[in-house]
Amino acid sequence: MSFVEYGYTIKDGDTAIVFLGHESMFPVKVQHGTVTQTKYGVIRHSTDLIGKKYGSKVTCSKGGWVFILHPTPELWTMNLPHRTQILYSTDISIITMMLELKPGSIVCESGTGSGSLSHALIRTVAPTGHLYTVEFHQQRAEKAREEFKEHGVEHLVTVTNQDVCKNGFGVSNVADAVFLDIPSPWEAIGHAKSALKAEGGRICSFSPCIEQVQRTCLAMEEYGFTEINTLEILLRVYNVRTISLQIPDLGKAAEDNSSTGSDSSNPSNPQQGAVQFKSGVPLREMVGHTGYLTFATKS
């Protein structure tokens, strides 16, 4: 099993996603002789999972059923264990596009955190690219290494435990892009410039506060970055559902009126009934501000 290569059958040691329903799923490490409890009953890994195809419908001990899905960066973002606040697909999608990433790209990232963005970056630059990710917290760095190994992507990523603001990324003049998600990104702009390739590399900084953005933009200008721009991504979700509307009374058709001539003594009867149709209805509550994304180019 690998997050960057699809496998058809579930094997011992794989990480799989147990799908119980919309917005109800969780990851599980498949192990021979292990069982997993769900609200529909027990899943026995040896008989119910190992050897089955990904996407299979598995019946639990109480008669309910679940689907077993192959892991992807998108599913992992929704189910990973949170060690820090994470980035979600709304921001991840624009980051990978604006940094102009592709297979073979070299990317530097700080900090690793829970690895949500890291998995998406690895999948984007595979099979010949590489991710250099720096995490200040030692335990989080060690846990990230373990997860990358379990997920079959350790050959595509190098995890370093150090302070990027003081020690940089550990590489020079090789990166096509740099991503910063740290409390004081302006202190790492110089190291980011050193890590980027000689010309044309892209940088992105994620910050929740506009004051952080202001200081980061000033630092980018100081170090000669160009095309500096900041944006904010807001996601508005619509539910597609059936709604019912009353049919309005529009009076008789024009041809009916013409047949009666100028006689208007008989008013038309209102048309009764309602019509049902599918419509997109926005949610009453919407996820608001997550953070600001500041992009720039090394000139």
Contact 188, 170 (CB under 8 A): no
- The answer to whether 111 is a known ligand-binding residue is no
Range of weakest confidence among 16-20, 49-53, 127-131, 285-289: 285-289
- The answer to whether 135 is a known ligand-binding residue is yes
- 3-class SS at 124? helix
- 3-class SS at 210? helix
Alpha-helical (H) ranges within 99-209 are: 116-125, 138-150, 164-167, 189-195
- 3-class SS at 196? strand
- Please give the Cα distance from 165 to 54 (Å, whole number): 43
CA distances to 88, 256, 293 from 123, in Å:
15, 65, 21
Domain with CATH 3.10.330.20 in the chain: 9-71
Contact 38, 174 (CB under 8 A): no
Per-residue pLDDT at 243 = 85
Number of Cβ within 10 Å of residue 90's Cβ equals 13
- The answer to whether 163 is a known ligand-binding residue is yes
Architecture of the domain delimited by 9-71: Roll (3.10)
Percent of the chain with pLDDT over 90: 76
**H or E segment and range at residue 77:** helix 73-79
What's the CA angle centered on 217, arms 297 and 212, to 5 degrees? 130
- 3-class SS at 147? helix
Per-residue pLDDT at 269 = 47
Residue 278 — φ and ψ, nearest 5°?
A: -80, 140
For residue 99, pLDDT over 60 is answered with yes
Which CATH code is given to the segment(s) 75-232+289-298? 3.40.50.150
Q: What is the pLDDT of residues 131-188, one digit of tens each?
A: 999 999 999 999 999 999 999 999 999 999 999 999 999 999 999 999 999 999 999 9
- Please give the Cα distance from 86 to 74 (Å, whole number): 12
- The answer to whether 24 is a known ligand-binding residue is no
Contact 65, 59 (CB under 8 A): yes
* Cross-strand pairs, 18: 26, 68
| Residue 25 structure tokens | 């799923």
pTM of the model: 0.85
- Please give the Cα distance from 139 to 271 (Å, whole number): 70
N-term to C-term CA, the chain: 41
Q: How confident is the model at residue 29 (pLDDT cuts 50, 70, 90)?
A: very high
